[in-house]
Structure 1
Amino acid sequence: MNDFIAQIEARRSIGKLTLPMPNFDELNIALHCATTAPDHKELRPYRFTVMTGEALERFGEVLLQAGLQKADRLGKVLDDTACTKLINTPKRAPMIITVATDYQIHPKVPEFEQLLCVGAVIQNLLLAFESQGYKTVWRTGDLCNEPLIKSHFDVNENNLICGFVYVGTSDITMPEREAVDLANFVKFDH
């Protein structure tokens, strides 16, 4: 097995990340790798927002407000524990990268294909950070496409936030993955 395949197989989502985080050069390497994902007609139907420091604090406030708005809309009330969890969610990592669609109109590239491109972009981003020694987790959540969240990241109503990629460091040793029986998912047609 080569090193690249070993890294793919070893990559795991880690929920709580700490410093150090990628420096500017490491971040740019990962972002460049992300943009090499398959992209029919090179439409680049994605946008990134990188948050660190005080931006994470502001994001926590926006998450709280979005959660309160959604609860109110549903006729529910968020208790103090839920409010604290929302405001602290961005503090689970020193860097968060928001990845959203930026659909382009093209007669040969439907939106679903552009959405798949963004999924591949995120996977490349995860693997690029892993190859540099960082850990990640790809999160969404039930608030990720609430109007207030989308507005915070300048994502219009026709586009989607596809993920919040949390990036940092962890000394947690994850157990090995159970082997997947490919016979349950693969059909060979000769």
Structure 2
Amino acid sequence: MNILDIMHTRRSIGKLTAPMPTHDELMVALKAAMTAPDHKQLKPYHFTVLTDGALDKFGELLLKAGVVKAQQNGESLDDTARTKLFNMPKRAPMIITVATNYQEHPKVPKFEQLLCVGAMIQNMLLAFETMGYCTIWRTGVLCNEPIVKDFFNVSDDNTICGFIYVGTSDVKMPSRDEIDMTDFITTF
């Protein structure tokens, strides 16, 4: 498939299984990700790759963060909600956490660096797709809770931009509906 076909047919798949990318395939995808537009080549991002037992630790963290968030709102979590939080990372054999790592530069504002991270993530999704893997880009209300940021060593002034779930699926997604671009384009 050429890149345009991949862009038009790629779909997010929520439940992924093994196999997952090998180390070499992961490096190829991350290298492709890092070719995203990046003014002054600041590389304003950081990856953390989770597999195996690290996914369980992440589940424990999400559970703890969920309990704290609920308590802050004067609520509590029932057993179903607790189980769901703990099992969230088990929806894929690999999760890549992507966070900003803003660099001070007089010509490159933070918003431009954030856009770089978004473009980099899209490159990563497409790279995995070309290798036959499926992905989903997740965030959620706990994404930037202090306890989650601490786990990933993300400073207060940076942002976790997503958890990229990577694996394999035999789900056959329906074709995308045709996009009517009329309302989105102005021509002068």
TM-score range, shorter chain: over 0.9
Residue of structure 1 in register with 2:2 after alignment: 3
The root-mean-square deviation of aligned C-alpha atoms, in Å, is 0.6
Query: How many residues are paired up?
Result: 188
Which residue number in structure 2 is paired with residue 38 of structure 1?
37
Is 1:156 matched with 2:144?
Answer: no
Unaligned runs of 5+ in 2: none
Q: Trace 1:12-161 onto structure 2 (pairs within 5 A).
A: 12-161=11-160
User: TM-score w.r.t. structure 1 length?
Assistant: 0.98
Q: Deviations over 1:129-187 (max 9, x none)?
A: 00000000000000000000000000010000000000000000000001111111011
Secondary structure, counterpart of 1:118 in structure 2: helix
Normalised by the size of structure 2, how large is the TM-score?
0.99
Instruction: Name the aligned partner's letter for residue 163 of structure 1.
Output: G
Shift of 1:25: 0.6
Q: Which stretches of structure 1, 4 residues or longer, exceed 3 Å deviation after superposition?
A: none
CA–CA separation in structure 1 for the residues paired with 2:78 and 2:110: 38
Q: CA-to-partner distance for each residue in 1:89-117, whole Å, 9 max, x for gaps?
A: 00000000000000000011000000000
